[in-house]
A and B are shown apart, each in its own frame.
Chain A
Amino acid sequence: MKSTKGFAVNRRRFLTGTMALGAALPLLGANRAFGADVALEFEGWNYDPEFQNQILTEYMGEHPEVSVNFVAEPSAQYVQKIIARFVGGNPPDLLYVRDQTLADWAEAEYIRPINDFPDWEEHVKGLIPFHLSGLTYNDKVWGLPYYGDHIAYIYNSEILEKAGISAPPTTWDELADQAVAIKKAGLMDRPLMFPLKSNAGLHWWSAIYASGGSLFDTEGNPKFPDEDTVSLKLLQFLVKAAQELDILDPTSVQMGTAEGRLALAAGQVAFGSSARYDLKVINDPKTSKIPGKAKQVLFPSLTAEGPHGTVGWTQMFSISADTENPDQAWDVLKYCTSPEVAKRYYLKNGVGYAYESLDDDPDIAAETSKWSDQAMFAKQGALAKPREYITFSWAAEWENFHMQQLQEAVLGRVSAEDALKASADKAIALKKSA
């Protein structure tokens, strides 16, 4: 038999090696905790986890007694994953929380309010108002801001220029006139997009706020379509834009924020809304066909009086109610959410910050000027408000149904009035059964 010199892998060696590797793996994972007195687990979704790890590494460098292991989950399954961990009795010590899940997770006693910690008030001073609102539920503050932003209204300045339009629109009627002019000039077939996918409620809310409307009272009773007529007028405008003027891109019914951003960046539409930080991508020559041409304008309203508000949202870091090391978790939380970290995050990714003091920061202004307008960012941000219904337990189900009704109306399958009546009835039924 021919012998094999050197290292030959046979079955026995393979099995021995595999077992040894298996036994060593937990040690590899645990080596970060060597020398640390407290080990914390921090779980979030997978948006730029490298940055988060960098910040935590810096923290651990300053606090060798604490080890923090950051776990990034796919964003789309984050809520389900975290709930499974809480229900399974194995929650992380620190976690990301979206403002729309805050009420549920606070009610379920998954997270603890930061009001439990003595110096909490210092850390919410100077927060932009809609961020503080987003962190608050039942008069308690449940975390500190990770990032947040507002829905911006964006137009393609080059197309407007080519169509001979000197200023961007301030009302929906002006916008319709400009879109018709662009269409007539043969520049675009349907220059307007309005995200109406079931998960795109932020855009509808922004348009409602821009025209000074409101959908619910504080008890969760719908004010549309009769008590507050903004919804009806706005939906009638969209129906007219789709059915009569033929200026609304029909794929709007399949667009969420991501698809809307792509349509703007591809130069397929001239008007649309997106997350404010998306301007960085839309104006980047590497990711856009219209670099430098996308501009922000105050969200159009039904009348010139405005108020041109929009939706602002906040993502936060919170502390698990069951953590065995709340004080260390609080310390990590403060470190990761400081204005300095928020500034670095902005300079890297362009995502919004929660601190008013950063509005005047020269580095931030310089960065913003590369792809947007800092003054407009601050102006629209000051008009932003969180969605007023997100604390209701039936919010997600209603919003999905509501967006379906908007789609039906825009496609001409039901009238605007019937769509909103059906949506109001659904809200009443859901509220009753909650």
Chain B
Amino acid sequence: MTTMQAEPLALASGQPGQPSIWRRLFPYWLNLPSVLVLLGLVAYPVGLSFWISLHAMSFRRPKRFPFVGLDNYINAVTSPEFLSALVVTLKFSVAAVALIVLMGLALALLLNVPMRGRGMLRALVLVPWAIPPIVNATLWQLIFDPHVGAFNGLLLQLGLIDKYQAWLVDPNLALLIVVFAHAWNHVPLATIILLAALQAIPRELYEAALIDRTSRWRVFRAITLPWLLRPILIVMILQTMGALRAFDLFYVLTGGGPGNSTTTLAWLTYQTSFVYLDVGKGSTYSYIIMGLTLVVALFYLRGFYKRGDVE
């Protein structure tokens, strides 16, 4: 049997055992096209948008490009509109992530139980995830329509209301409805991740608990939950990032209103960049959202990995 072995690499100087410069650079040459693509398509736009965020740039007056340093950032964090949008964003994100994790966990636990039709249920639970966000938003808009909406029809048939209501014009309800619509679209992903994690928990642990006649709640608390902490962390990070950037639902369902009750940072960024055409300020908002996402991710990582380590 012949053993495949690389030839000893030769240096340009000809010293045995040393690779030539060409051979040493070869892997870098192979990676160069990908690196160039990444630099061109990711690094350059990211860097340029940061540079723009340091300028007072508006497409209404595109020939003016004065450098303003961190003024855009200072003005943003001190403006009432920004602070209001930040509060709405945080409210939306906390509520959406909590709902998604809880519903995802509940569904994963349910779908992990052996029962008839489980395969069908597992397939069905994926359906909302397959719906594009903009279609999801339109669907919920029709459901909550004040004149022909299915939600009004249902409540009327159940005798819970005596006439159709305009749910989305109530500033408190509007945000809750968006949270619910967002959760409906994103729960399947959480369910899949948590279901996969549940199936990876060693059976022996449950068998030992059964022999010890441990209560179900204790089994959940002492075995299931610790094993799920890392997947839950992943779900929370993914969903927080998604919630902080959520846009489609606000665009279709509420347009940031009524008033500014559903104006989130993502909506404010869109308005600033594409309606007011103030790309300097719009880029600033984008970087603030990015920073916020980073801080939240770091917070999760520190908080959960310490307590969730089951190794």
Contacts and interface: CB of A to CB of B under 8 A. Distances in A.
Contacts of B61: 104, 107-108, 393
A189 B163 CA distance: 10
B62 interface: yes
Contact of A404 (B60, B257, B275): B257
Given A87-B62, A108-B61, A404-B259, A411 B171 contact: yes
Given A83-B277, A189-B163, A266-B147, A253 B258 contact: yes
Contact of B275 (A83, A108, A197, A396): A396
Interface of B is mostly: loop
The residue in B259, B274, B275, B276 that gathers the most chain A C-beta atoms within 10 A of its C-beta is B259
A405 to B, nearest CB: 8
Interface size class of B (residues with CB under 8 A): 20 to 34
A108 B62 contact: yes
Nearest to B273: A80
A251 B257 contact: no
Interface string B128-142: 000000000000000
A87 to B, nearest CB: 6
A59 interface: no
B256 A407 contact: no
A83 B257 contact: no
A310 interface: no
A407 B259 contact: yes
B166 interface: yes
A393 B260 CA distance: 22
Contact of B258 (A79, A107, A268, A411): A411
Contact of A108 (B63, B166, B256): B63
A400 B271 contact: yes
A58 interface: no
B168 interface: yes
A331 interface: no
A86 B61 CA distance: 12
Interface string A77-93: 00110010011000000
Contact of B255 (A83, A197, A251, A401): A197
Contacts of A83: 59, 62, 277
B169 interface: yes
B264 interface: no
Given A189-B163, A413-B171, A198 B255 contact: yes
Contacts of B274: 80
A321 to B, nearest CB: 12
A356 to B, nearest CB: 33
Interface in A340-385: none
Contacts of B62: 83, 86-87, 108
Given A250-B146, A396-B275, 17 more contacts: A87-B59, A104-B277, A107-B60, A107-B61, A108-B63, A253-B169, A253-B258, A254-B168, A254-B254, A393-B60, A396-B277, A397-B276, A404-B257, A407-B258, A408-B259, A413-B171, A413-B259
Interchain residue pairs A-B with the least CB separation, the first 8: A408-B259, A104-B60, A253-B258, A397-B276, A250-B166, A407-B258, A250-B169, A83-B59
13 contacts: A80-B274, A80-B277, A104-B60, A108-B61, A109-B63, A250-B166, A251-B146, A251-B147, A400-B271, A404-B259, A405-B259, A407-B258, A408-B258
Interface of B: 58-63, 81, 146-147, 163, 166, 168-169, 171, 254-260, 271, 274-278
Interface of A: 79-80, 83, 86-87, 104, 107-109, 189, 197-198, 249-251, 253-254, 266, 268, 393, 396-397, 400-401, 404-405, 407-408, 411, 413
